[in-house]
Structure 1
Amino acid sequence: MPADAKLLLGGRWCASLDAAGAFRAEDPTRAEPIGPAFPISGAADLEAALAAASSVAVELAATPPARIADFLERYATAIEEETDTLVALAAEETALPAEPRLRSVELPRTSGQLRQAARAVRDYAWTEPVIDTATGLRAHRAPLVKPVLVFGPNNFPFAFNAIAGSDFASAIAARNPVIAKAHPSHPATSRRLAELAHKALHDAGLPAASVQMLYHFDNALGVALAGDARLGAIGFTGSRAGGLALKVAADVAGVPMYAELSSVNPVFLLPGALAERAESLAQEFFASCTMGSGQFCTNPGIVVVAQGEAGDTFVATATKQFASATPRPLFSRGVQENLARAVRDLVDAGAGVLAGGSKGDGQGYRFEPTLLHVDAATFLAHREALQAEAFGPVSLLVSGGDETTMVAIAEAFEGNLTATLYRAADGSDDALWQAVAPPLRKRVGRLIANRMPTGVAVSPAMNHGGPYPATGHPGFTAVGMPTAIHRFAALHSYDNVPDALLPPELRDRNPGPVQRRIDGRWTDADVGVSR
């Protein structure tokens, strides 16, 4: 099958230099190919992209921040003006609902991230300038002066797309060229986004090869590319196995990799909360677990339920809802097969099936909303196998016990993106909270009270990250400007460098107003001026 679509390579749209084949997107509701054929790149495409990006890295790093911000804002506007086309493409390729998910939630989040990144560029917020007049030292965060390789996931065709999402916006904000690896689940959506980005890049006057996109390539080529020391960093969102293979290669080459790998996002239902509202909690849990067919990195994959009558009510209500739910489409055959395998592995590890457990009937790729159950002793005895991620509408209930048991369960978890504790409004759970929260706190990036984990606000205070294996590094977030930009920046220190030769935000005169830490105090004043 010859490829119809062209690549964005070296600043222009062109045919693949050495296509190893072609693929088409699929309609998940019918399991049938749709749209044009897209090239599967060979080694020549990857080398051309890396060489082109490397050739403009110095120029882009020296580009005035206003032009970078102009690109990000132009791109955001172009995405909004193309809403109807983009939503139609993404809905067809992913089976995600056009409204409200794509049109009212994800697309505005995407353009909003780009604008937040632009603001962080204009006010230098991401650079965090520090000036120590006593030593003559000045430091800030600066471009890597190397390309960033971004791997996009299947579950967010806009907000985490390799050519438009948070990783992309962050890398460009830090003035690094981006090589985007689109996800094969939504190639036509990615192509249209890339067309908009390419035009915005041209209109903003940035180097033509600052943004490039490849649709697909063999895993072995991806590993080889990840291990190329010409890269400055890698942003990856996807499976643990795929991410770790890339990370091994990147580590050997000294390439920093910021990877989101897997998470089960444990939820603890404390006894007072269950006594107050067991049935409503079951409804909230069901809605969260099945939203988007459960294909969220923050899906509540394990729920620890305090034992007792109220806990039994929760389990019964949740089981009824899962059992009566209609299977919704999944992104692909691969997602369906991996989910079926994950459920089998959980059952083999000791979980019982309360509802669902099989591939759904009807056309397309579907899986029954599935609720599994184990007691606390079984979970603790088989903790590693029972906390494996099942990417889809699946969750495991763990019947807890007394305080000691709940603390032991909390201590059994690997690193996760989130953990949630539901507490009673009257404060009766607060002592148990204080026992369970500390072991969870060191295992998660975001600790949540009385709210299911699904959904990630784009906020400067957000941490969409966590300890391994949720991500590859606990000190960074993939969401929230300006902090997300730090992943793709270097820390540059200047010692006794003359004022005129310093970057603008480190000179005596504030280019801003820019918030700078001068002699231990944050201020927007010039050096030597007190306020």
Structure 2
Amino acid sequence: MAAEPVWSVDPRTGKPREQVAVEATADEVDLAVRAAHAVRGSLADRTARAAFLRTAADLLDEAREHVIEAADAESALGPVRLTGELARTTAQLRAFADVVDEGAFLDIRIDLPDPAATPPRSDMRRWKIPLGVVAVYTASNFPLAFSVPGGDTASALAAGCPVVVKAHPDHPATSELCASLLRRAAVKAGLPEDVVVLVHGFDAGVELIRHPLVAAAGFTGSVRGGRALFDAANARPVPIPFHGELGSLNPVVLTPAAVAQRAEEIGAGLAGSMTLGAGQFCTKPGFVLAPEGEDGDRFLAALTAGVSETEPAVMLDHRMRDAFVAGVAERAALDGVHSPVTPGAGGAHTVSAGVLAVAADRIASGDHHLLLEECFGPVTVVARYGSRAEISEVLSRLPGNLTATLHIADGDAADADEDAAPLLAELTPLAGRVLVNGWPTGVAVAPAQHHGGPYPAATSTSTSVGATAIERWLRPFTYQSTPQHLLPPELRDGNPLGLPRR
């Protein structure tokens, strides 16, 4: 059977642009994984892999014009957004190079022998070692920062793991370009190019998670797709870690004091956040608990005005557009739901942003569970509560999330907002990150960042953004009573490499 072609498609028209590649067969996936596995030892040199990450960032910067052009042609995200995303991508690569140089991620712990201890203690030296080949499944909504050169790839390479990347079908040309730049960077840094290998195709993604030489996987995408891969990873004869970021509602709670103080400001801020990037951010605030009454009306009016001014937008592909149009129509048809701004089709290839509103007691009573499921695209649901008890009842029904946001009174009135502390405590179990008086879109790449959360936001407790994302691809290992000449330099007496150690 002939291999299926892989086409680059223009989301602005739905028409194919060019054939980029062909889908990998099972034999080709096997060859790709074995090629990556064969060169894993080359990444043991931390100096070389730090140089590789920095060289990759440099080559991406040098090819900026071509990379942004390719990504825009396949995503319709626009040069301004993609310029920022490329800067984030190269910053991630350089940040992980710094992590490799610094060495604290190795988590070195040395216990010297103590025969007098109970029980007696031998010489033990513990650090973290790379797992092996990592399968990376790329995201549709970030063709750079969560794709071939993105955070999963950067953190895995920083850990010393070669990667086999399954390209997303929405941006195959961008994936090919970025993979070629990473492979060139490897060679320039003195490493084999097969520390990064790219494959295409749905079936290839299934074969990849099942391959016995794949040691771990990272995924960003839908609950349905991620859960299928997660289950496959656990059904293997030897299960492997699967770090998936799946879906998130990202709830927002507005206290009465906050809305009384700045209803219009909060409404305008929410409108900007939930329509950013056509609502295609994984941290889009998709569900809001707002008070009934005059102040709540002012908030909803400001939100309505802000969303009404948003121009129709192109989504990442027509399949997502159709799913959005069908999803908002199904939600709008529920009893008691009305549309201050009607979301849906904005044209043959675009969508219009909108707002759905409902009384919170509909959800608190167990009705309308569909409103507590993520709808990917520019829509948010406003649930109007009439009592503090309704907030708690609704929150108790929420699934896990990447983020939760709490708006409270600020300035001199902050101490007087009696709802702030208990609501913060209620939101903490629901998310990996809680924001106070801010908006969740925009995930800073920083050591303290946590981009994950309770299921279905993620399938593990790890983060996919920030320095600690490297921990996903490592495992602890201890040498006991091992002669100095057999130890790696990182663990020898005298600390010859000057690494952080306990």
TM-score by length of 1: 0.89
**Counterpart for residue 353 of structure 1:** 339
| Cα distance in 2 for residues equivalent to 1:71 and 1:130 | 27
Residues 66 and 19 from structure 1, CA distance in 2 versus in 1: closer, same or farther, beyond 3 angstroms? Answer: farther
**Counterpart for residue 390 of structure 2:** 405
Deviation sequence 1:129-176 (CA, Å, 0-9, x none): 1112243222111111x2100000111111111x20000001111111
| Cα distance in 1 for residues equivalent to 2:3 and 2:495 | 53
| Cα distance in 1 for residues equivalent to 2:324 and 2:144 | 23
Q: Which amino acid aligns with 1:60?
A: S
Per the TM alignment, residue 348 of structure 1 is displaced from its structure 2 partner at its CA by 4.7
Runs of 4+ in structure 1 over 4 Å off: none
Counterparts in 2 of 1:427-438, with a 5 A limit?
427=414, 430-438=417-425
Q: Contact 1:302/1:395 (CA < 8 Å) preserved in 2?
A: yes
Matched, 1:115 2:100: no
After alignment, is 426-435 or 124-133 more displaced? 426-435
Structure 2 residues not aligned, in runs of 5+: 115-120
How many residues end up aligned between the 2 structures?
A: 488
**Counterpart for residue 46 of structure 1:** 29
Counterparts in 2 of 1:252-271, with a 5 A limit?
252-253=235-236, 254-271=239-256
Q: Contact 2:108/2:127 (CA < 8 Å) preserved in 1?
A: yes
Per the TM alignment, residue 193 of structure 1 is displaced from its structure 2 partner at its CA by 0.9
Q: Contact 1:19/1:39 (CA < 8 Å) preserved in 2?
A: no
Give me the identity figure in percent.
37
Q: Over the residues paired in the alignment, what is the CA RMSD in angstroms?
A: 1.7
**Counterpart for residue 89 of structure 1:** 70
Deviation sequence 1:247-269 (CA, Å, 0-9, x none): 11100121110000000100111
Matched, 1:148 2:134: yes
Q: Partner of 1:367: helix, strand, or coil?
A: strand
**Counterpart for residue 158 of structure 1:** 144
Counterpart selection for 1:60 from 42, 49, 52: 42
Q: Contact 2:275/2:310 (CA < 8 Å) preserved in 1?
A: no
Counterpart selection for 1:216 from 201, 211, 232: 201
Q: Contact 2:338/2:358 (CA < 8 Å) preserved in 1?
A: yes
| Cα distance in 1 for residues equivalent to 2:2 and 2:407 | 52
Q: Contact 1:151/1:236 (CA < 8 Å) preserved in 2?
A: yes
Counterparts in 2 of 1:368-447, with a 5 A limit?
368-380=352-364, 381-382=366-367, 384-425=369-410, 426-427=413-414, 430-447=417-434
Per the TM alignment, residue 356 of structure 1 is displaced from its structure 2 partner at its CA by 2.0
Structure 1 residues not aligned, in runs of 5+: 1-17, 518-531
| Cα distance in 1 for residues equivalent to 2:208 and 2:185 | 27
Deviation sequence 1:417-458 (CA, Å, 0-9, x none): 000001111125642121112121011100111111001000
Q: Contact 1:124/1:505 (CA < 8 Å) preserved in 2?
A: no
TM-score by length of 2: 0.94
| Cα distance in 2 for residues equivalent to 1:50 and 1:39 | 17
Per the TM alignment, residue 344 of structure 1 is displaced from its structure 2 partner at its CA by 3.2
Matched, 1:247 2:220: no
Matched, 1:277 2:262: yes
Counterparts in 2 of 1:185-200, with a 5 A limit?
185-200=170-185
| Cα distance in 2 for residues equivalent to 1:405 and 1:396 | 16
After alignment, is 256-265 or 39-48 more displaced? 39-48
| Cα distance in 1 for residues equivalent to 2:389 and 2:158 | 47
| Cα distance in 1 for residues equivalent to 2:327 and 2:416 | 34
Per the TM alignment, residue 84 of structure 1 is displaced from its structure 2 partner at its CA by 1.1
Q: Which amino acid aligns with 1:273?
A: A
Q: Contact 1:96/1:102 (CA < 8 Å) preserved in 2?
A: yes
Counterpart selection for 1:302 from 276, 280, 287: 287
| Cα distance in 1 for residues equivalent to 2:128 and 2:111 | 15
Per the TM alignment, residue 459 of structure 1 is displaced from its structure 2 partner at its CA by 0.2
| Cα distance in 1 for residues equivalent to 2:322 and 2:496 | 55
Q: Which amino acid aligns with 2:163?
A: V
Q: Partner of 1:398: helix, strand, or coil?
A: strand
Q: Partner of 1:38: helix, strand, or coil?
A: strand
| Cα distance in 2 for residues equivalent to 1:429 and 1:266 | 23
